[in-house]
Structure 1
């Protein structure tokens, strides 16, 4: 969630990427093992490509508003993921993050 090294991925997409990679939003980056770094890298690509397709399909050539209906975890209305995991929220650095207990926490 700390954007000192990588900026530009918004809070909602950070939640989606971390969920997709199975990584908790709470560890420091240096605590994440190499295999999970690879997962994060792949998730960044997959989640953002999917979002571009979803937003393009909904908006056509005109970008209107902030479409988030397709998100798997970052949603005020969702209580559980499609896998049945309870979605929790917490403030980190003034931002609300959405996560599950099933995401790996590295210390």
Structure 2
């Protein structure tokens, strides 16, 4: 499928990849999960450091997208996988590319 410039906040279906300066995210709106692969697809610039986050490379419950646009940091609303009462934001380094893959 063709690259996109943004994922709309009201998106409710499909599987998307979001590549940032330091990582690649897989958003599955059908299953409502988010997976972060740190260091995958990032650039070699020394301006950006790959941070290690809890639950990297694991599916975590996705509650929604506040913003996700090429050239800006994305903001994903997620639930802690080990405590359903805890909700938090995942804020990324600037988005390089967005693609709907399913």
Structure 1 and Structure 2 fold alike (TM over 0.5): no
After TM superposition, the score normalised by the length of structure 1 is 0.21
Structure showing greater Rg: 1
**Bigger strand fraction:** 2
